Amino acid sequence: MRSFQGRRSDTYELNKKFKFDPAKVDAMILSHAHIDHSGNIPNLVKSGFDGPIYTTPATVDLCDIMLKDSAYLQQRDVEWLNKKKRGPAPAEALYSLEDVERALNNFQGLDTIPQLKFPPV
């Protein structure tokens, strides 16, 4: 799930809200673990997605590390922002370590992706 990167003020809302209902997505194929591809998966799961995430075993291993690190860094950033009282309301992380753990339960490391049939769009 694409994670928009850049200035905090520009990217928070882009990453927070989806232009579709995550609960209506049946499955995901994740090609690789780069954070701009995987970094918003915990937020997707938090927002209602509960399907399998098909990827390679190596990508599962990398996402386990990278997404937990991302949640930790977000939490530290939020703590700093709230301590400095920047912004009109308390800052919130996009997702927590608990959200990452829930998302990781959806990952299915496969050596080959099964043949899937997609409905017409």
Contact indicator for 73, 80 with CB cutoff of 8 Å: no
Contact indicator for 96, 71 with CB cutoff of 8 Å: yes
Question: Chain-wide mean pLDDT for the chain?
Answer: 86
pLDDT digits (tens, 9 = 90+) for 26-82: 999 999 999 989 999 999 999 999 999 999 999 999 999 999 999 999 899 888 888
